[in-house]
Amino acid sequence: MSGDTAPRSFGTLPDGREVTVHTLSAPGGLRLRVLDLGATVQALHVPDGSGRTTNVVLGHPDAAGCTARPEAYLGAVVGRYANRIAGSRFDLDGRTVELAPNEDGNTLHGGPDGFHRRLWRTVSAGRDALVLELVSPDGDQGFPGELTVRATYSVADDVVTLDLEARTDAPTVVNPASHVYLNLAGEGSGTVDDHLLLVEADHYLPVDRAGLPTGGLEDVTGTPFDLTVPARIGDRVRAEHPQTVAAGGIDHSFHLRGAGLRRAARLEHPATGRSVELFTDQPALQVYTGNSLDGTAPGSSGRRYRQGDGVALEPQRHPDSPNRPELSDPVLRPGRTYRSRTAWRFRS
């Protein structure tokens, strides 16, 4: 792989705008490729003990691939509100906010023209850090307030960090999240069934067939969602449980223990000895086992992604929190700054 980290063209969008890919490099050999389209992680090459590197995330091969299947959300920062908002509406300060629906009458990942479809402005770009910015205008997809969002990616040794910040000029709801799909066996190598997953959560949120909460948090004990010790993903997604059957696998929010920046999950691929620990300061982790990947999303290796080819571990607020504030508080007001941090630490 070339050592060149200069920004390069990733192709053009249907309207002729160019998409740029930035490459960040750490001294130990870790290399991260990020698009200005959607602030998207397009590839992440992790070194092993022999000095070879393996791409461990799912990503599109070019700009045309991104536009062919944007709803796969491969590697993007999704928002303004990640996950689902029921009925594409919520009440804020005594008035009803109507949003743009894009999934069975609900709003998913910010709506039909969410952050994943936008070209973010490059604020600064260096060998080991990249800052991207997006201004979401008042009324964007129905959300109130002009929101300015910054995504800062950085790499150091065996760690990738994403810092998100947002400010608004009017009360709104905010919940951007990274939608990186991991496959530690290597991108394009098949399913993550043989990966072991641990999640630092004693409770999860049951949902209906639309992915919306049916009630409050429930204990994971005795369910396929008990990931308090490492469990084989393939065994859990095929468990005969009403929640996994309805979702076609796992697509659920886990309420993380503790507060502040702490370990949320550990993913391991025993056959290669490769693992990653995910750290976050967010209250919840959405675990999504790629249930809707259907062979239409083109991958960076040329292979089209199918069900279970990656697992997304998405730190965020709980789904539908604008309508369910007892789950988590998503409101951002002028004069305050939303901040979140996600860090991935790799081992080989």
Q: How many CB atoms lie within 10 A of CB 131?
A: 19
Length of the chain equals 348
Using an 8 Å Cβ cutoff, are 52 and 66 in contact?
no
Given a contact cutoff of 8 angstroms between Cβ atoms, the answer to whether 197 and 311 are in contact is yes
| Residue whose C-alpha is closest to residue 44's, from 23, 61, 17 | 23
Residues labelled catalytic: 179, 314
What single-letter DSSP state applies at residue 87?
G
Phi and psi at residue 65, to the nearest 5°: -65, -35
Whether the CA torsion 269, 270, 274, 277 is positive or negative: it is: positive
Strand partners, 22: 34
C-alpha to C-alpha distances, 235 to 21, 141, 159, 201, 306, nearest whole angstrom: 37, 38, 29, 19, 18
Q: Which two tokens stand for residue 348?
A: 């080989």
Joined together, the tokens standing for residue 210 give: 């639309």
End-to-end CA distance of the chain: 19
